């Protein structure tokens, strides 16, 4: 990341950017907002630190700890996907707050879809342990996949549904046309 982002600060983003993270220390979400960073220089950290914190996926990477001298605020950051797997609603909130009078195009880039897991007709084979159809000797991945998949897909579909309500396809008003696209 040093090679690509160097010493660039988050306030220097070329477009207004939001990056969701989860702060283990405060047990709350923290959204880095490039425009807000120009107002609160204590949160204007290096882009590579924002990226590192926002991509600290549990079980893959250690949390990223920031604090003085990197930031005025001490935080223990992990992957923002724990909160906002599809951060479209964060973008739409930003649009409503700062750009309500403008023509807007929200482009949400995803990493694809997880393959659907077959669930029995009685629904007893989903959840933390995979329900009654899986034994305790199954691998941890097999035991948790259905529950994790359901949380992930539910978060994504909730954001997509909210986006469609706010920006219906081909919606127009007398002053602007709002659009949303999930890719």
Q: What is the mean pLDDT of residues 37-55?
A: 90
Q: Is the pLDDT of residue 170 over 70?
A: no
pLDDT band at 173 (very low <50, low <70, confident <90, very high): very low
Please report the pLDDT score of residue 137 as a whole number: 44
* Residues in contact with 135: Cβ distance below 8 Å, sequence separation at least 6, in sequence order: none
- The percent of residues above 90 in pLDDT, for the chain, comes to 25
So what's the pLDDT on residue 115? 59
Report the pLDDT averaged over residues 36-58.
Answer: 90
Rounded to two decimals, what is the model's pTM? Answer: 0.66
Q: What is the mean pLDDT of the chain?
A: 74
Check pLDDT > 50 for residue 20: yes
Residue located via tokens 């195009």: 105
Segment 96-138, tens digit of pLDDT: 777 777 777 777 666 666 555 566 666 666 655 544 444 444 4
For the chain, the structural domain boundaries read 2-82, 88-182
Looking at residue 134, its pLDDT comes to: 44
Tell me the helix, strand and coil percentages in the chain, rounded to 5.
35, 20, 45
């Amino acid at each position: 990341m040093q090679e690509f982002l160097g010493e660039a600060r988050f306030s220097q983003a070329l477009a207004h950017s939001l990056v969701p993270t989860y702060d283990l220390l405060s047990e709350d979400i923290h959204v880095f907002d490039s425009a807000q960073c120009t107002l609160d220089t204590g949160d204007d950290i290096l882009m590579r630190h924002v990226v590192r914190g926002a991509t600290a996926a549990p079980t893959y990477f250690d949390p990223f700890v920031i604090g003085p001298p990197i930031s005025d605020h001490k935080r223990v950051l992990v992957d923002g996907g724990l909160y906002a797997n599809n951060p479209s609603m964060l973008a739409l909130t930003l649009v409503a707050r700062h750009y309500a009078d403008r023509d807007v195009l929200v482009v949400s880039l995803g990493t694809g879809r997880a393959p659907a897991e077959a669930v029995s007709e009685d629904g007893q084979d989903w959840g933390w342990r995979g329900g009654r159809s899986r034994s305790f000797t199954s691998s941890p991945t097999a035991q948790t996949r259905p529950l994790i998949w359901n949380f992930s897909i539910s978060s994504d579909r909730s954001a997509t549904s909210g986006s469609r309500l706010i920006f219906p396809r081909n919606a127009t008003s007398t002053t602007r046309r709002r659009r949303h696209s999930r890719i």
